[in-house]
Amino acid sequence: MRFSERVEQLVHSPIGAAHALVGLRTNDRPLLDLSQAAPSFPPADAVMERIAEVAREPDTGRYPPQPGLPQLREAFASDLSSGYAADISPDDVLITAGCNQAFCCVASALTNPGDEAILVAPFYFNHDMWLKIEGVEVRHLEPAANLVPDPERAEALVTDKTRLITLVSPGNPTGVTIPKEIIHDFAELARTHNLALIVDETYRSFRDEKNPAHQLFENPDWADHVISLHSFSKDFAIPGYRCGAAVGGKPAITEALKVLDCLAISAPRIGQEAALAGLRHAQQWRLDQASRIKDLELRFLESMQGQPGGFEVISSGAYFGWVRHPRADLSTEEVVRRLVLDHDVLTIPGTAFTSNDQSTIRMSFANLEPQQIDELASRLNEFS
How do beta strands 137-141 and 116-120 pair? parallel
* Residues contacting residue 82 through CB under 8 Å, at least 6 positions apart: none
- What domains appear along the chain, each with residue ranges and CATH number? 5-42+285-382 (3.90.1150.10), 45-282 (3.40.640.10)
**Amino acid at residue number 47:** V
**C-beta of residue 47 within 8 angstroms of C-beta of residue 282:** yes
Instruction: Give the H or E element holding residue 255.
Output: helix 250-263
Q: What is the pLDDT of residues 182-208, one digit of tens each?
A: 999 999 999 999 999 999 999 999 998
Give the pTM. 0.94
CB proximity list for 101: less than 8 A, separation 6 or greater? 242, 244, 260, 263, 264, 267
| Cβ neighbourhood burial of 110 (10 Å; 0-12, 13-18, 19+) | buried
Q: How far apart are CA 228 and CA 148, in angstroms?
A: 19
pLDDT at position 27: 82
245-279: per-residue pLDDT in tens? 999 999 999 999 999 999 989 999 999 999 999 99
Tell me the residue type at 201.
E
Question: By C-alpha distance, which of 99, 94, 54 is closest to 73?
Answer: 94
| Percent of the residues in the chain that have a pLDDT greater than 70, as a whole number | 100
